[in-house]
Structure 1
């Protein structure tokens, strides 16, 4: 239950900061559809995001209002800090309805009850689970409302973490270490890729001797061979072969908080080119971590990486990191600050980032990453795992 994960005062602080943002934006309400933001504000935790659901916040109401499918209302009672009057549910005939009903018809009714039907209402227009149909149904039901795109409003509130959030991320890092080691231990010539994936998943869920793990927002990514130049591939039933580079990117998850970790291994004796690339990645990663501290911009952190690898005539156009923490599928990123040229976001104490400065070529790729916490004096990496090219 959420009350066991965070105390009510933490939710009240989160809600207070969100309400401050609503007032700054002159909003009468916000409809939150991102599952991570719903969890952040209300504590709701269920695999129900495949149907429409929301948390509604107004500047003057003490509690948010959870709105979801009737069969999920007990899940809201079990996991949120909300009182009964703040839990609203729509009937099942709204789900994939043959009667031209839609869950946002019910949400519109809740907004009317909250007396904001003719107000300025924020919507998470670019959230993964807020559909075009959701928007048009709200427009049809609330013709006098003025809708505003507030996709990242709550995400920016989330960007600095409380001590309890950081503790869960540190616990997730312990799970990440165990899962990474499990994957590395299995990978060798002749072993099917899925066996490594199974070993990783076992540790992601088993966790540690003290606590178990949750399902991560992204499955373990594990491109191998020629495909290591293409990030975001998973596993197949192909056996590992001598001469294969293998990338593992994964994250432990503890109460929905993540601590991603990526490493690269090689089946057999790695060629000098891959060894050199791994050394460059580590050198650039450490240069960027050395720069990260409060008051420094995101682009300054990336610049330290870029200038380091430039000494070896290597260029990389992609961002090298992003803010992250609390997450649900399809990803653990917060979609706010990125470590990239042009991002002038100033680092603040208790922000958290996944720094993943991979180098990908047409023939192979190398990824070595760290999740770090911005402390008062610099960057604290959450995992304790060797930064090197592994071999089998």
Structure 2
């Protein structure tokens, strides 16, 4: 293992980087939570949380990468050996434990853990290690080795970091504002390119070109471009089919700056007749979004926000309407998604909204006699309500 400290800024670069003091503060808050939960160490495998605690930003998470945080002492970043040069250049205040391709990643993690907890609190007992049970980056084969290792007791600590990371600092909010401006730039290019005869992939190309030329980073999730006859097929990217003169096209995208995202979506009818046909749905979705924004207030729960939006939809329709959520927390995002977690505005979620949270808020109305409309924005929870950060004009 070697210790490395990255420079505050790199040569010939304007990449967004937080000062070491911010990472030290994040680590201090994390350790306070670990102390409260009786943890001797924390195994962090979610890329968003690894980035949050030490700044690692690369595409190498297809190989097991984990930050081992002791209650005291220097954290250890276990990564594939060929990634150590990148990790050393990017991260601050960690030791690096690179493992060879022929090494079982579980062995590397256990080695790092045992060095950290060899003399834990001076007590002859198994070390209590927190882990992220819902992390997509902890393969079952690795977890099976870890959970059966002697001398370690495991506690699911998934909520420990997600709750901390949900509330952003001013520096983080500045990057989210940058991402929102990039999103608006990309949306303007996409809606301009979405004309009759243009192919969906050409619209996506316009989105990417505008986003990257404006200084954006690669987003964690591809832009979604599709005609509304496939609107219910969520998370499709794009096809090579040309848009028809009477189509409506849906665009959902996010700019990214320093791994922070600010998604938005717009629906555009290519002819006036289509806009008129879906006029009631458009009016209903927009009115419900106004209600949602009003409910996005500190102290309200995620469920209360959903109920306010949902009630507005059903009151306007005069009949029941089913939708699983109306938004979710956003901030740091890594593939395969820009949401960086699953804390949504949905029924049953008692999470309390706090100043500094940012949400991708959505108002979707699909099918039925009233027609179809869907759009979204990124909004910041403020002391007295919310501020919508994405400013793209509504279409039609």
Cross-structure match for 2:299: 295
Note the C-alpha offset of 1:2: 7.9
2:155 is aligned to: 148
Match of 1:263 among 253, 256, 266: 266
Question: Is residue 2:168 matched to residue 1:161?
Answer: yes
Q: 1:361 — aligned with what?
A: 367
Q: Residues 158-194 of structure 1: CA distance to partner in whole angstroms, max 9, x if unpaired?
A: 0100000000000000100010010000111111111
Q: Which runs of 5+ in 2 are unaligned?
A: 1-5, 10-16, 121-125
1:91 matches 2:113: no
Correspondence 1:34 to 2:43: no
Q: Report the counterpart of residue 213 of structure 1 in structure 2.
A: 216
What TM-score, normalized by structure 1, do the two folds share? 0.91
CA RMSD of aligned residues (A): 1.8
User: Could you give the per-residue CA deviations for residues 32-79 of structure 1, whole angstroms, max 9, x where no partner exists?
Assistant: 111111000011111100111100111112x32111011111111111
Query: What pairs up with 1:180-195 in 2 under 5 angstroms?
Result: 180-195=187-202
Note if contact 1:316-1:359 (Cα within 8 Å) is conserved in structure 2. no
Aligned to 1:233: 236
Match of 2:383 in 1: 376
Matching of residue 243 in structure 1 with residue 246 in structure 2:
yes
Partner of residue 119, structure 1: 127
Q: Which residue of 1 is the match for residue 310 of structure 2?
A: 306
1:320 aligns with 2:326: yes
Comparing 247-256 with 296-305, greater Cα deviation is found at 296-305
Aligned residue among 276, 279, 282 for 1:272: 276
Q: 1:271, CA displacement in angstroms? A: 4.8
Q: Is 1:222 the equivalent of 2:204? A: no
Shift of 1:153: 2.0
Q: Give the deviation of 1:365 after TM superposition.
A: 4.5
Deviation at 1:111, TM superposition (A): 0.7
Match status 1:337 vs 2:337: no
8 Å Cα contact 2:133/2:156 also seen in 1: yes
Q: Deviations over 1:92-145 (max 9, x none)?
A: 223xxxxxxx111111011111125931111212211111011012134x2231
Task: Tell me, in whole angstroms, the C-alpha distance in 2 between the residues paired with 1:355 and 1:260.
Answer: 9
Alpha-carbon distance in structure 1 between the residues aligned to 2:246 and 2:231:
12
4+ runs deviating over 3 angstroms: 1-4, 362-365
The change in CA–CA distance for 1:90 and 1:319 in structure 2 (over 3 A counts) is same
Q: Distance in 1 between matches of 2:239 and 2:71?
A: 50
Structure 1 pair 345–375 and aligned structure 2 pair: CA distance change class (3 A): same
Structure 1 match to 2:3: none
Aligned equivalent of 1:81: 92
Question: CA 1:177–1:283 in 2, change beyond 3 Å: closer, same or farther?
Answer: same
Give me the TM-score of the superposition, normalised by structure 2.
0.90
Residue among 55, 70, 74 paired with 2:81: 70
1:45 corresponds to which of 57, 76, 82: 57
Report if the CA contact (8 A) 1:247-1:263 is conserved: yes
Equivalent residues of 2:269, 2:275 under 8 A apart: no
SS at match of 1:238: coil
C-alpha distance in 2 between matches for 1:330 and 1:152: 20
Contact (CA 8 Å) 1:2, 1:44: kept in 2 or not? no
